[in-house]
Amino acid sequence: MNRIASLLNSALLSYVVFIMLFITFFPFDYHWPSSFSVNTYWKAQESLQNIFFFIPFGYLLASLLKTSVRQTLYISVICGFFLSLFIELNQIFIVDRYSSPIDLFNNSVGALAGAAFFLALKRLSALRKYGGRLLDIPLMNLVLMLIPLLWLNAVGSGHDVRRLWLAFLLAFIALYIMVAIYLYGGRGIYSLKRGHLLRVYTVWYAISFLPELLYFPGRVLAFYLLQMIFMWLLLHLGARGERREQRYELPTLKTVTPLFLLYLLLVALWPLRGMQGQFEFEVLGALFRRDTSLAFIFSQIEYFAAFALAGFMAAQILNRYDFKAWKHFTLILLMAVLMELPRGFHGLHSANLTHIFLAVFNGTFGALIYFLNLSAYLEEQHRGNLRKDRRLLEKWRMEKEPQM
């Protein structure tokens, strides 16, 4: 792994840890408890949620380690355990929170699963041949960033089946991007076939909708079949009206951006039935109220994570023209304000300054992730070209030696 790629994974790991601490320390209301107690109640769904919660941490941590397989697994489990221990000790002093030794075990298992998943991906030669090379494309990184967003959506939805349509919208965005990569580059540069496209999307869908399977297994399968119909239609239309332009990334981004903005607006105003006539504006707003339900907390985090992805997309689009930091900041700030204004008319929310600040912060971080990812990609391309030039030079020397 090159230096920039390592810096990219370090930034992502820092962001993941920040999100984890934000979720677990919410509502940030510390106090000295009148008595100390340990919760040993076990619930299957909560255990699975805690395992999923630490998988990204284990995955990104393993990507930074240059150790053997066994040492990587050991280090991931130990770091996951101590991070979980730090969280559990803090939750003793937070109102409406509790500590549980079961969470220590589940979180450690999640870190181990994330590290094992990373190591498994490195060893799968078939995935490296097809999916691995696709990961070098910046648009595919946008698809990968949709996975944690879908996981947040699953936990933030709880048992609200209507909110699953938001996840379906994200899945369609990923599908459209993958089909575009296949139609305008995958078949030629990467020698992809339709079967490869189907397998890559199926694996992505299975990973992305894993938490939703806990609540709506039938609907998740039905949505997958519906996505397959959309894939057939997109491939059929793309084959009939095939474009010959090599730079397909910008048209693809311009197509999916309105869909993502629609998703972002729906997340901001959910549930839609709560609109009212009176406008409310606060400094902190509902963000620091004592609603410690997982559905509320994860829906808040989903909103900010969506802005990180919006910042990633905005930087990718602006970079195709003439990127300026002030342009990106102004665009993200305008988006945050426009998303916040209708929340002021929502009975369950309110327009507040803290939301705008956190949205802009996450949008700016998304731009940082994009440029780190782009730099890593360009550096790897440069190294690949150097290796190719060296092989050509060596071949030329070997051909000339017999003549000399």
Q: What is the pLDDT along the chain (404 residues), one digit of tens a residue?
A: 556 667 767 877 887 888 788 777 776 677 777 766 666 666 666 777 778 778 888 888 988 888 888 899 999 999 999 999 998 888 877 766 777 788 888 899 989 988 888 887 776 544 555 545 565 566 787 888 898 888 888 877 767 788 888 999 999 999 999 998 888 865 555 567 788 788 889 988 988 888 787 778 888 999 999 999 999 999 888 765 555 445 688 889 999 999 999 999 999 888 887 677 788 887 765 555 555 566 777 788 888 889 999 999 999 899 888 788 899 999 999 999 999 888 888 877 778 888 898 899 999 988 988 888 777 777 777 676 777 777 777 777 777 665 55
Token match 């030669």: residue? 125
d(CA 313, CA 315): 5
d(CA 246, CA 77): 45
pTM: 0.78
Residue 212 phi/psi, 5° resolution?
Answer: -60, -30
Contacts of 28 by beta carbon, 8 Å cutoff, 6+ apart: 94, 288
pLDDT value for 168? 92
d(CA 204, CA 392): 37
d(CA 311, CA 369): 9
Q: Which of 162, 147, 95 is CA-nearest to residue 305?
A: 147
Angstrom CA distances, 378 to 2, 144, 170, 290, 372, stand at: 11, 19, 28, 46, 10
Q: Which residues of 374-391 are buried (b: 16+ CB within 10 A; e: fewer)?
A: bbbbeeeeeeeeeeeeee
The pair of three-digit structure tokens given for residue 188, joined into one six-digit string? 């030629």
pLDDT value for 44? 67
The pair of three-digit structure tokens given for residue 166, joined into one six-digit string? 């938001």
pLDDT value for 245? 47
Residue 309 phi/psi, 5° resolution?
Answer: -70, -35
3-state secondary structure labels for all residues of the chain: CCHHHHHHHHHHHHHHHHHHHHHHHCCCCECCCCCCCCCCCCCHHHHHHHHHHHHHHHHHHHHHCCCCHHHHHHHHHHHHHHHHHHHHHHHCCECCCCCCHHHHHHHHHHHHHHHHHHHHHHHCHHHHHHHHHHCCCHHHHHHHHHHHHHHHHHHHHCCCHHHHHHHHHHHHHHHHHHHHHHHHHHCCCCCCCHHHHHHHHHHHHHHHCCCHHHCCHHHHHHHHHHHHHHHHHHHHHHHHCCCCCCCCHHHHHHHHHHHHHHHHHHHHHCCHHHECCCCCEECCHHHHCCCCCHHHHHHHHHHHHHHHHHHHHHHHHHCCCCCCHHHHHHHHHHHHHHHHHHHCCECCCCEEHHHHHHHHHHHHHHHHHHHHHHHHHHHHHHHHHHHHHHHHHHHHHHHHHHHC
Residue type for 11, please? Answer: A
pLDDT value for 1? 54
Q: Which of 212, 227, 216 is CA-nearest to residue 298?
A: 212
Vertex 288 angle, CA 286 and 293, to 5°: 80
Judge contact between 346 and 269, C-beta under 8 A: yes
